[in-house]
Structures are given as C-alpha cells and as structure tokens.
Amino acid sequence: MSGRYFEDCNEAEPHQPGIRRGVAPYALDRGDAERLWQVSLDMLAGR
C-alpha cells in the first residue's frame, strides 16, 4: 500500500472547492490517521 489516492487511473490531485474530484485534506492528515490507528488497536484490545 502506498498511502496515495488514485482516481481515473491517475494519482489524485488535492480537492479544489467547487470541483467534485480530488483528495480531501482530511484524508491525507497524518495525525488523524495515527489517532484512528490507536482507536482501532484499543478497540481490538477491549479497552
């Protein structure tokens, strides 16, 4: 897995307001990804 997003067989560009294409900023947020990973681990551990 690369951690990159693709659409129409190309790497997706960042989302531009008013255009229904591209990667939303929250999808690339490393801090959010790390928090989600920790929540997932906690749930699996029954915490």
- Per the domain annotation, does 27 fall within a domain? yes
pLDDT of residue 46: 87
pLDDT of residue 2: 66
- Report the domain count for the chain: 1
pLDDT band at 1 (very low <50, low <70, confident <90, very high): low
Quick one: tokens of 47?
Answer: 């915490």
- Per the domain annotation, does 17 fall within a domain? yes
SS3 state of residue 31: helix
pTM for this one? 0.59
- Per the domain annotation, does 11 fall within a domain? yes
User: What pLDDT digit, counting tens, does each position of 6-38 carry?
Assistant: 999 999 999 999 999 999 998 889 999 999 999
Q: Containing domain of residue 13, as a range?
A: 6-45
Average pLDDT on 34-45 reads: 96
- Per the domain annotation, does 12 fall within a domain? yes
**Rounded to whole angstroms, how far apart are CA atoms 1 and 19?**
27
- Per the domain annotation, does 1 fall within a domain? no
